[in-house]
Structure 1
Amino acid sequence: MSDTVTGATVHARSRQGVAPWWWPALVMFTVGYGANQFVPLLAVYRRTLGLSDAQATAIFGVYALGLIPGLLLAGPASDRYGRRPLMLAFAALSLLATGVLITGQWGPTGLYAGRLLTGVVSGGAFSVGTAWVKELSIGAAPGAGARRGALALTAGFAAGPLVGGLLAQWAPGPQLVPYLIHLLLAAAALALLPRAPETVTTRAGSDRDLTPQRRLLASSARTRRFTRVVVPLGPWVFGSVTLVFTTLPAHATGPVAGLTVAFPGVLAAVALAAGIAAQPLAHRLQNAAVTRGTADASAVALAVITAGCLAAAAATASPSVGAATGAAVLLGAGYGMAIICGLREVEHLAPAHELGGLVAIFYSLAYSGLALPYLLALTGPHLGYPAGLLLLALAAALTTLVVTVQGRRHPATPSTPRPNTPPGT
């Protein structure tokens, strides 16, 4: 199986300088930056390549096809072979993915390929990085690892579209210059990553102890708490905030004279800033919910997402910058709360030797929500975007009810080592 380093080891190393969790968190930030730098550039490609709504949303969403194998393979692999070699590989691939996106200025093929590779990179870096940051946060307050990982991810998601949008709006070479910033950041993060200590040591014969099913699916993913609470919550994590990246800029803002490219990036940054601001509240609510044996914190996150969908429906019915911004704040806050609740549930349920694998499954569920804006783009022209968003709000409200009821029926219980698990895992 695997052994993790002790808290004493981590703290001894952190006293030598910057806390070691910063280095994988920096990679998560740069990968998140690279994933969302594309948001404002969609406006550029819509104009230069003549992309339709469905094409633009498909190029944005093909990212999810790369995510799933990246998540499901990298998380369990890092549980067995270590965090650092996997994270180094994905940090290097992040540079390649951005290089492929640069070729998209000559046709949509480069955009599809670049977004697909970006998805593979994101899946690997987010699952491995989240587990690594958690393990390097041993000795900190409960939930510190989840908060640090979510903060790094969300900050990268926010910075990418903000900086990319401003550069694409006013800098020369809008299909090149924004990507150069990410190349510099990713190269620096890759160079600094070896400073982080490995937290997993493999044992000879560990692969023989794992059945093919267990290698792919962590046993903790089959617990009732996970299937009845985390699974319904998961798709709304990114399904909510992705509406801010795709639907709101195209259908809810009204005229934004002189800011056609920059405003989508600003809107995304506002939403993700709201997500960061909401995370401390989510942390407190989640601690209280676990103590009471409920899923009330997840239900609150879903209720905020429901309100965000209603606000988005109103904004698409009467487009304006103010209405779109209000909807973005609610959807972003709901995302920020939902990702904290989900990651804290995962930390609570997963034994150490399954942490990477269960994180990967959670992110797979979260990213399945990218299908929601794509379905909206397909049905919106027929139903109307306000009606489509009202249906999403109804679905979110029903999910809130399901999670509330199921959370009380299946209260959280701390993870325990599985049979034949070596001490210290």
Structure 2
Amino acid sequence: MTNDTAITSRSAADPRATPLGGRAWLVAAFAMTTVGWGANQFAPLLSLYETQRGVSTAQAQGMFVLYAVGLVPGLLAGGPLSDRRGRRQLMLAALALSMVAGIVLAAGAWTTTVLYAGRLIAGVASGAAFSCGTAWIGELSARRPGAAGRVPRRATVAMTAGFGLGPLAAGMLAQYAPAPLVLVYVPHVLLAATALVLAWRAPSGPATGPVAATPRPVAPAWRHRRFVLLVLPVAPWVFLTAAVALATLPGSVADLLGDHVMLFSGLVTPLPALTGVLVQPVARRLHNRSRLLNPGSLALAVIGLLIGAAAVATSSIALVVVGALVLGAAYGALMVSGLTEVQRLAEPAHLGRAIAIFQAATYAGYLSPFFIALLARVADLAHILVALAVLAAATAVWAAAADRRLARGAAR
């Protein structure tokens, strides 16, 4: 069964009508963008919570990564639930949770204790949305022939747009708006309410196509050797690169920025998302033509981490910007490559769970700022980033060797 046929035959026609027709996938994409906005709007506010609310650096980084603690069970539960109950139903729940998270985080202006709960709820919402959103985009994209190959790029762009626009808006509001610790969350709450209305009216799956019977039992994608030996080992670097660019590098030059730290964070944190989006068309073509995308993307991660180490060592604002751009390119290429592999390996009945497992592995890298902050108490931050670059290089060597072994085995 080809991937296009698999996605098209995932479920029977949904009776709900939509004025978007073949562009119904935009509703799912907008929902993912909204949840991504809510996930990352917290990043540029770390310094503000430290200066205005007395939150320590370790506490702030703990709040940042607590999102990942909620996200992993959201992913692992959300994927199978969406396979059984439908993508739209789970997305509605995720959007509602995301809106609640924004309201709870806004209450953190009065008591920082609730910030932990807000970040945890945001993580659960993101896990549920991202595990079902990619599959939902795939099913709605199947309304147009030949669109299935664009699904990884569409899903990555949707998430990345939210990851970039959320901190940009939050940084600008934190710098210039009154009551910034409240108002920064208002745009996201309004977007979530809008996305809820749109998703409520959207179809759950493909417009046409009978349910196709699988001629024989097929092993789930996560048991495939390529998934275990190649996809999973590379996955944590997807969000490790983004997290270092978002949460580690901007704070390393905070002392040089004075009153403009919020503006700088708001302008720098969208940069990884920007380059992550721009690199995706090239990454998709390279993935289809060559087996070297994963090692090449990890090479970008190595370069970005080394630039980050140089930025920290020299306290260079310019190098922080360059490092964020390069790390963002690595993030975008790695995400497209991983989602494309999962889409190729997974049968429709297992697609949600396969995406969830992959994304849970990617978000392991989102914990990196917390551990980097802890290690920075006993080691130089620049040396920590160099050590991460060495690990990324070792993973690139593993990925290239594993891909060659798998290719030889398939050729036999």
TM-score exceeds 0.5? yes
**How far is the alpha carbon of 1:396 from its aligned partner?**
0.4
Residue 230 of structure 1 is matched in structure 2 by 231
More deviation, 309-318/218-227:
218-227
Structure 2 gap ranges (5+): 1-5, 208-216
Secondary structure of the residue that 2:141 maps to in structure 1?
A: coil
Q: Distance in 2 between matches of 1:412 and 1:58?
A: 44
| Structure 1 residues 279 and 75: CA distance shift in structure 2, 3 A | same
| Structure 1 residues 341 and 413: CA distance shift in structure 2, 3 A | farther
Secondary structure of the residue that 2:32 maps to in structure 1?
A: helix
Residue 146 of structure 1 is matched in structure 2 by 152
Q: Distance in 2 between matches of 1:104 and 1:238?
A: 26
**How far is the alpha carbon of 1:412 from its aligned partner?**
11
More deviation, 386-395/86-95:
86-95
Q: Does 1:243 align with 2:244?
A: yes
Aligned AA (1:276) = V
| Structure 1 residues 239 and 80: CA distance shift in structure 2, 3 A | same
- Contact 1:285–1:297, Cα closer than 8 Å, also in 2: yes
Query: Which of 138, 163, 171 pairs up with 1:165?
Result: 171
Q: Distance in 1 between matches of 2:179 and 2:56?
A: 23
**How far is the alpha carbon of 1:106 from its aligned partner?**
2.3
Residue 212 of structure 2 is matched in structure 1 by none
- TM-score relative to the length of structure 2: 0.90
Aligned AA (2:348) = A
Query: Which of 42, 45, 49 pairs up with 1:38?
Result: 42
Q: Distance in 1 between matches of 2:150 and 2:408?
A: 19
Residue 282 of structure 2 is matched in structure 1 by 281
- Contact 2:239–2:331, Cα closer than 8 Å, also in 1: yes
Q: Distance in 2 between matches of 1:142 and 1:21?
A: 11
Residue 397 of structure 2 is matched in structure 1 by 401
Q: Distance in 2 between matches of 1:16 and 1:275?
A: 27
**Count, aligned residues:** 393
| Structure 1 residues 344 and 397: CA distance shift in structure 2, 3 A | same
Residue 123 of structure 2 is matched in structure 1 by 119
- Contact 2:139–2:206, Cα closer than 8 Å, also in 1: no
| Structure 1 residues 4 and 235: CA distance shift in structure 2, 3 A | closer
- Contact 2:95–2:125, Cα closer than 8 Å, also in 1: yes
Residues 306-317 of structure 1: pairs in structure 2 closer than 5 A: 306-317=302-313
Q: Distance in 1 between matches of 2:254 and 2:326?
A: 15
Q: Does 1:91 align with 2:95?
A: yes
**How far is the alpha carbon of 1:21 from its aligned partner?**
0.3
Query: Which of 44, 57, 62 pairs up with 2:61?
Result: 57
Residue 377 of structure 1 is matched in structure 2 by 373
Residue 81 of structure 2 is matched in structure 1 by 77
- Contact 1:253–1:324, Cα closer than 8 Å, also in 2: no
Question: What per-residue deviation string (whole Å, max 9, x for no partner) do you get for residues 229-266 of structure 1?
Answer: 11111100011110112111111466124321121121
Q: Distance in 1 between matches of 2:197 and 2:408?
A: 40
- TM-score relative to the length of structure 1: 0.87
More deviation, 331-340/188-197:
188-197
| Structure 1 residues 369 and 340: CA distance shift in structure 2, 3 A | same
- Contact 2:96–2:196, Cα closer than 8 Å, also in 1: yes
Query: Which of 317, 322, 333 pairs up with 1:326?
Result: 322
Percent sequence identity over aligned pairs? 42
- Contact 2:241–2:327, Cα closer than 8 Å, also in 1: yes
Question: What per-residue deviation string (whole Å, max 9, x for no partner) do you get for residues 321-346 of structure 1?
Answer: 21100100011110011100010010
Residue 272 of structure 2 is matched in structure 1 by 271
Q: Distance in 1 between matches of 2:324 and 2:76?
A: 30
Q: Distance in 1 between matches of 2:408 and 2:189?
A: 42
Residue 24 of structure 2 is matched in structure 1 by 20
Secondary structure of the residue that 2:55 maps to in structure 1?
A: coil
Q: Distance in 1 between matches of 2:372 and 2:335?
A: 22
Residue 214 of structure 2 is matched in structure 1 by none
Q: Distance in 1 between matches of 2:284 and 2:17?
A: 27
- Contact 2:18–2:201, Cα closer than 8 Å, also in 1: no
